[in-house]
Structure 1
Amino acid sequence: MRIRRRRVMTFLATAMLLASSVGLTSQARADDVSDARTMIETTCTQLLGVINSSQGDAQKQAAMQQLVRGAVDVDGVARFVLGRFWRVATPAQQQDYMQTFRQLLVYAVTGQAASFQGAKFTMGQAAMRDAGIVVDTDVTVPGKPEAQVQWVVATVGGKPKIIDILAEGTSLRLTERNDYAGVISQHGGQVQPLLDAMHHQLARFQSNAS
């Protein structure tokens, strides 16, 4: 899930046309950056609202699931994480992988919720970069050092969606991709052992939740 280019013109008329189109592109990008920052601010506010609410675990998980699916390009992240091994997987394995990944992502976010109790997000700058639109935030959690979290956003289906999170400069989706590739490589390039490991992890999450 991510983004990138340009050319040199020689004729004056072409250059004038290019200048006008660049102006439109710059405006569109400025709007995209503004929309991305607003979306992250709204998402962070909603996230903290769920975390700090007095709802039960089941209600929080349902609210978190709705929030994650609305704000994150879950399927895009899933495809990126599996990378080149997507083509190795059978159609049945691809379907199993996507379904399991969606569930794991929600459980992973929900499982971390307690550690963000009382947290505060301070919005920073937002800018178009190679990876996408990067929105800076500073996160403060009682009793812990302040951390910088950067949200990478792209337009998906006409809406801004989170495609990656950079925690102190480390890409979470790239880290996950390397982990998944490591499991597959250890098993001779077979995808099924990864799926088995994902099912085992999901069962643990579900057991802890119940």
Structure 2
Amino acid sequence: MQHLDRRGLLGAALLLGAGAIRPARAQTDIGRASAFIQTTGQQLVAAINDQSRDIAARRQRVAGVLRQAVDVDGVGRFIIGRWWRTATPQEQQEYLKLFEETLIRNLSARFGEYQGVRFSLGRTQQRTEDDVLVNTVIERPNSAPFSLDWRVGEIGGQPKVVDVIAEGTSLRLTQRSEYSSVIQRNNGQMAALLQAMRGQIQQLAAREQGR
């Protein structure tokens, strides 16, 4: 499980992405998708850079942004893939809870690293009939800028991030492979992944408290 949090800020948090397989979505408007990413990015940056609040309060602020921007259940179900069908209802419920907590903790554990983060919008383009690709450039103090592409789709009548592409790599597909690997190494047992996720959350919480 050591690789599950390796990408840091927007890679981990916006693993955000990964919408699950669902009925056909409405076509996403380019302008609306761009404005959505602009607003969501500004909200995240403001929460991360807000030193007037303690860590717990900032984490809750970030959690609110993520819950609004992401279909967390859809994200989690896509990433777990075929193993969702073999999990018990209790395991499914715990997995989704742990998945959301992992996203939030991955961000809050890195508040210090990303203090002063900024972003700007790049090119927006229609990717398919039902999603749009929005490019952003992320800047941190004392670090080289890097590019993230956000796939935005219409889910339930609202724009949502459905994937993030970093350095040409789909983060939802990478995470899906990592989660599946944990389960496969443990004879197809969902319980093994849940245990690993609990351990990861504990590590992230300790890291947050130790700063």
Matching of residue 49 in structure 1 with residue 70 in structure 2:
no
C-alpha RMSD of matched pairs (Å): 1.8
TM-score, reference length from structure 1:
0.82
Secondary structure of the 2:151 match is: strand
Higher relative contact order (CA 8 A, sep 6+): 2
Q: Any stretches of 5+ residues in structure 2 without a counterpart?
A: 1-18
- Of 127-136 and 91-100, deviating more is 127-136
The residue type paired with residue 133 of structure 2 is: V
Kindly report which structure 2 residues correspond to 1:100-111, keeping only aligned pairs within 5 A, or say none.
100-111=98-109
Q: 1:173: how far off?
A: 1.4
Which of these residues, 125, 128, 135, is aligned with residue 127 of structure 1?
A: 125
Q: 1:203: how far off?
A: 2.1
TM-score, reference length from structure 2:
0.81
Q: 1:2: how far off?
A: 6.8
Which of these residues, 31, 34, 37, is aligned with residue 37 of structure 1?
A: 34
Kindly report which structure 2 residues correspond to 1:79-90, keeping only aligned pairs within 5 A, or say none.
79-90=77-88
Partners of 1:85 and 1:41 in 2: how far apart?
Answer: 35
Partners of 1:168 and 1:182 in 2: how far apart?
Answer: 22
Secondary structure of the 2:116 match is: coil
Deviations 1:61-111 (A, max 9, x none): 010010111111211110111001101111111111111111111111222
* Partner residue in 1 for 2:140: 141
Greater share of residues in helix? 1
* Partner residue in 1 for 2:181: 182
* Partner residue in 1 for 2:192: 193
Tell me which structure has the larger Cα radius of gyration: 1
Q: 1:46: how far off?
A: 1.1
**What percentage of residue pairs aligned between the two structures are identical?**
37
The residue type paired with residue 96 of structure 1 is: E
* 8 Å Cα contact 2:71-2:160 kept in structure 1: yes
The residue type paired with residue 40 of structure 1 is: I
